[in-house]
Amino acid sequence: MTTLEFADVSFSYSPKKFVEQMSFTVAEGELVGLMGPNGAGKSTVLKLAAGLLSPRKGSVLVGKQAIGSYSGKERAKLVAYLPQILDLHAPFRVGELVRMGEYPQDGTQALSVEEALHIVGLHEKTDTHLAELSGGERRRAYIAMTLVQGAKVLLLDEPMASLDIRYQFDLYRLLKDIVREKGVSVFMSSHDIGMGAMLDRLILVKGGVVIAQGDPDTVLTEDTVQDAYDLNESVGTYMATNRTICRAFAVAGA
């Protein structure tokens, strides 16, 4: 079942085209990565998916309906968006932040605050101030908020940014568990080839255009990586090898 669909979507901030004729789908219960170099349009694609931007051409559909046709509260029940830069020093306790996710649900959310905190491993830090958490714990607190929100699609912009490798893999495994246990779809941007190799599917973009999509082994070939990131042959080979090592590590620790 398709949860999110881009149908021939184009967008521009100016007369110059920024996203051009993008078409792809994210199915229910998939963990899909959006990859590409800086300036490729990844953050713009996620904002279009969240309904924060409107396409110049084409349609962004959630549940077979245009995302822009939903009211704000209806949209919040379907899609949860976390930008790359979070307010990590907001003056809230963990439980207070997570409880904000209740807003669109009118008391009928699928998960309670307590259940969401258990899923992300922060149930013992309900009363802890955000400023006292590590970077990885703060991101997990925001993810707990989106779980309480009850959205069918999680849109995460560079959720691994600024996290050391331990927290990256912890967050990856958390997202895999959420997808598997809750049937939620996760669509996340990433600049890390190794992490991308561990996802269900990848959409690789360059200059606002999809240049490859499919399973990681199909997308992350040496030639495609060299083309997407303008790398020489030796660097492309190294990146492909790094992809294989990271995937093996993830499987071993799953």
pLDDT at 125 over 70: yes
pLDDT at 1 over 90: no
Domains of the chain: 2-253 (3.40.50.300)
Helices assigned H by DSSP within 113-164: 113-119, 135-149
- Please name every residue paired with 6 in a beta bridge, in sequence order, or none if there are none: 24, 60
DSSP 128: S
- Report strand pairing: 185-190 vs 57-62: unpaired
Integer Cα distance of 203 and 211 in angstroms: 8
Question: 39-61 pLDDT, tens per residue?
Answer: 889 999 999 999 999 999 999 99
What is the maximum alpha-carbon separation in the chain?
55
**Does this model's pTM top 0.75?**
yes
Mean pLDDT of 137-161: 87
Mean pLDDT of 11-24: 88
Please report the pLDDT score of residue 148 as a whole number: 86
Contacts of 45 (CB under 8 A, 6+ apart): 6, 19, 22, 34, 189, 205
Query: What letter represents residue 68's amino acid?
Result: G
Question: 162-201 pLDDT, tens per residue?
Answer: 677 777 788 888 888 888 888 889 999 988 888 888 999 9
Q: Residue 18 to residues 36, 61, 70: CA-CA distances in angstroms?
A: 14, 20, 25
Question: 101-116 pLDDT, tens per residue?
Answer: 887 766 555 678 998 8
